[in-house]
Amino acid sequence: MTALQPVFWPLLLAVVLTGAAAIWDLRTGLIPNRLVAAGAIAAILLNLAVAAPRGMVAVGGALISMLAGLVLVSLVPMLLYRLDGIGGGDVKLLAVVGAALGPYLGIEAELYAFACVVLYAPARLLFEGKLIRSLRTTGALIMRPLVPRHRRPEPAKLEEMTAFRFGPAIFAGTLAVVVLRWAERGLT
């Protein structure tokens, strides 16, 4: 039996981190800063440890990849956060996933996470009997800026809107990326 290739350690870290965050998010509705900070430190150390044996150029590349992943994966979540679409813990968790996985795999994990929510949300709303009303509310919110002010409908009340925990979707997206990478490269 051979040892796990070093390149897979940051991938495993991302899965463990997002798994812990998903459990925490489901239980409390929050993703704690200390968990995300510990994940960020671990991601930096692991990526540098993987790059160090290959020399300073590889270390510089790892630093650039982590920074690019952090910034690029954070762009859409930051916009959604500013629009009250997701929570700050979700943004920070995705930023750390981007730092751990780099920009390409980080954006792929983020895309899979959003796809999970897009598939889950209508199913949950249908199960709860809220799908039609939610679609009507969403349509009104989309059309609201296009309607003259005096004819605009009132925005939906907060209690009418349905919140979803995004941590489990981030975990599912990260897990999907890691499983696909393992399938591509082989486990060992």
Q: Domain span at residue 93?
A: 6-185
Residue 89 lies in a domain: yes
Judge whether 168 and 22 are in contact, CB under 8 Å. Answer: yes
**Per-residue pLDDT reduced to its tens digit, 10-41:** 999 999 999 999 999 999 999 999 999 999 99
Predicted local distance difference test score (pLDDT) of residue 156:
59
Predicted local distance difference test score (pLDDT) of residue 1:
41
**Per-residue pLDDT reduced to its tens digit, 107-119:** 999 999 999 999 9
Residue 1 lies in a domain: no
User: Which of 114, 81, 88, 80 shows the shortest CA–CA distance to 31?
Assistant: 88
The list of the chain residues with pLDDT below 70 reads: 1-4, 152-162, 186-188
Separation between Cα atoms, residue 83 and residue 86, nearest integer Å: 8
pTM, rounded to two decimals: 0.84
Predicted local distance difference test score (pLDDT) of residue 134:
82
Residue 32 lies in a domain: yes
Separation of first and last alpha carbons in the chain: 9
Residue 164 lies in a domain: yes
Predicted local distance difference test score (pLDDT) of residue 75:
97
CA angle 17, 22, 24 (to 5 degrees): 95
Predicted local distance difference test score (pLDDT) of residue 174:
97
Judge whether 107 and 72 are in contact, CB under 8 Å. Answer: yes
User: Which of 14, 63, 19, 16 shows the shortest CA–CA distance to 167?
Assistant: 19
- Compute the half-sphere exposure of residue 118: CA atoms within 13 Å on the CB side of its CA: 7
Judge whether 137 and 160 are in contact, CB under 8 Å. Answer: yes
Residue 16 lies in a domain: yes
Residue 180 lies in a domain: yes
Domain count, the chain: 1
Residue 141 lies in a domain: yes
Predicted local distance difference test score (pLDDT) of residue 139:
79
User: Which of 156, 50, 172 shows the shortest CA–CA distance to 108?
Assistant: 172
